[in-house]
Chains A and B, each alone.
Chain A
Amino acid sequence: MTAAALTPGAGARRDGAARARLRFRRRAADAALWSACAAALALVVAPVVWIVADVASRSLVHWHWSLLTRTTVGQGGGLANAIVGTLVIVAGVAVVAGTAGIGGGIYLAEYASERGGSLLRGASEVLAGVPSIVLGYLGYITLVVALHWQFSLGAALIVLSLMVVPYVVKATEVALRQVPASYREGAAALGMRSGYALRKVVIRPALPGIATGLIVAMAIALGETAPLLYTAGWSDHFPTLHLTHSPLGYLTYVTYVFYNEPYASSHQLSHLAALLLIVLVLILIVASRLLVAATQRHAADRT
């Protein structure tokens, strides 16, 4: 042993072997980390593929177009009333939450004082964290029972809009804050009043960001169930567009209630409603991606 330690060649050789071992260990650690990460990505992709394949295969076995054109009859029939109901609810939320959220976002970005702004902003963020069933309970107790609106579109729209308004507020405020200062300065230099400049100049480049926030809000409204069960109720008929005293159907109700019924027809409707919900969500996601891509191209052209 002492002889080996005294021979310079042996020490270098042993050093070389240790270095090779270390290099191997580092390579192995790298490979382990990246394989674990690849496995993690697979766990993101797999559920999406599985859910879509599962829902599609179960709902398309006895496919017939009448499933989309007829209204629900008991546990069977079609989904026409629920499809229209969901579209009415989503459009209504876009109007109500859009108005409140864009207005609120403009106030926070353009007018609010430091302290007042952070209070209102904080309240909006906290509201986003309130569980949907709690808001549904609130809507039921106040609008449906205390105000005697009964199950209705109006109660559903108010509860859902409260749920999603924070997303629109946030998107609007962030989009407005990202507008370059030169836009405002240019408008002021031309003698525009701040309100006029906001309408004509500043809001233009912020519109795609605001639209993206609105799309997120619509996607959430589309998929909600808990706040609707006790505000919108359910109806086999097409929505009447009366804001009160008139319950309406929607797709998430079918998925939730019909899967537990003992009939094949109700199981199929439950899965078909789920498939339609996924398709609508995909449409919204693609729309928001196109919007973002278009703005990025636009921004690239400008510079």
Chain B
Amino acid sequence: MLRGRITAEQVTRGTLRALASIPLAALAALVVILLVQALPAVRYNGLGFFTHDAWLPGSFYADPVTTHGVSHPPGASYGALPLIAGTLESSLLAMVLAVPVGIGTAMLVVEKLPARLSSAAGFFLEVLAGVPSVVYGLWGALTLGPWLARHVSPVIAAHAPDLPILRFFRGATGAGEGLFAAGVVLGIMILPIIAATTRDLLRQVPRQTVEGALALGLTDAESMRMVGFPWVRTGVLGAAVLGLGRALGETMALAMVSGTVLGASPHNFYDTFTTIAATIVSQLDSSLTDGTGFAMHTMAELALVLLAITLLVNVLARVIIHSVSGTALPVGRGV
């Protein structure tokens, strides 16, 4: 009887341990399978994968050719430079836009708004975090993008000086799909992560510290600027990097707003471009038609590059956040 009870506990324990191990097993399987799948592409594409622009699947109707022991369609040549650059550029733009707005919102919610209104602001942040990325893509492609192209881009393009780096902001402003619109949409998507995390961190600043600042004669804005915000600065940095991780891996919104142009880098701030994730989702279909399977191997290599970038950024964010607080921060999203 007693023996039976002990085994029941052990069975429960074993089952729970197996369930808890699922994420670890999935990660391991993911890395191994991607590596195996990407290996032929890594061998054929070589280091040129990271340095050139061309995106040529080769001829699917000619006899396959074998190079370095890898069978591929003749003329196949893949360079991921524009995809990697596009991923980084759009995400950086999103950060530049979302970080100040997110911090500003959090400061106002914590310091100025009464409880009822700050709860309402929290509701808007939750909706912003909850809206599916296809819906952002739809709105960005059909409404926001054209609106920016009509009312905002021409103003920036007309006033940007003709200087080395700022020249990037001049020139044709396009019809709405492109780097600028994609950056704005991405910025809105990562805004709730940054705003909600900063808000929760600011609420944890000890009351006495803030009251001490006020007692010394600081105004509420000065105490926020000189005491409250510096108190949580590292945590906010972590939240920003977490938002960056989300932006780098974002797929659908970018597939719909970027213009998904392969084989070329954007000529200016408003030009169409593409990212790694958007390329995988839009090209996987046509990659299946490569009889040698080489296009699919290249997709695996792309997925591996994206995984490496996002994991690096995510781990960095968590190291930063864990170094400042053991508090339970939201995992990945601002909900």
Contacts and interface: CB of A to CB of B under 8 A. Distances in A.
Given A133-B249, A259-B141, A170 B121 contact: no
A129 B101 contact: no
Nearest to A259: B138
B105 interface: yes
A91 interface: no
A100 to B, nearest CB: 5
Interface string A136-150: 111011100000000
Contact of A134 (B8, B142, B306): B306
Interface stretch (B25-33, B46-54, B71-79): B25-33
A162 B21 CA distance: 12
Contacts of A93: none
Interface stretch (A3-11, A12-20, A279-287): A279-287
Q: Which of A34, A112, A282 has the most C-beta atoms of chain B within 10 angstroms of its own C-beta?
A: A34
| Chain A contact residues: helix, strand, loop or mixed | helix
| Chain B contact residues: helix, strand, loop or mixed | helix
A128 B16 CA distance: 20
A125 B328 CA distance: 12
18 contacts: A26-B222, A33-B221, A40-B103, A40-B105, A48-B124, A50-B139, A104-B21, A126-B315, A130-B249, A133-B280, A136-B281, A141-B37, A169-B20, A219-B130, A219-B335, A225-B252, A271-B138, A277-B131
B100 interface: yes
B30 to A, nearest CB: 5
A252 interface: yes
Interface residues of B, number: 91
Contacts of B280: 133-134, 137
A130 B311 contact: yes
A41 interface: yes
B148 interface: no
Given A125-B331, A131-B277, A104 B33 contact: no
Q: Which of A30, A104, A135, A289 has the most C-beta atoms of chain B within 10 angstroms of its own C-beta?
A: A104
Q: Which of A38, A51, A230, A259 has the most C-beta atoms of chain B within 10 angstroms of its own C-beta?
A: A51
B20 A104 contact: yes
Given A224-B132, A285-B127, A107 B221 contact: no
B100 A40 contact: yes
B180 to A, nearest CB: 16
A36 B142 CA distance: 29
B241 to A, nearest CB: 11
Given A26-B222, A223-B131, 7 more contacts: A43-B101, A107-B19, A123-B27, A133-B281, A134-B307, A166-B23, A259-B142
Q: Which of B107, B135, B136 has the most C-beta atoms of chain A within 10 angstroms of its own C-beta?
A: B135
Given A30-B220, A104-B20, A277 B141 contact: no
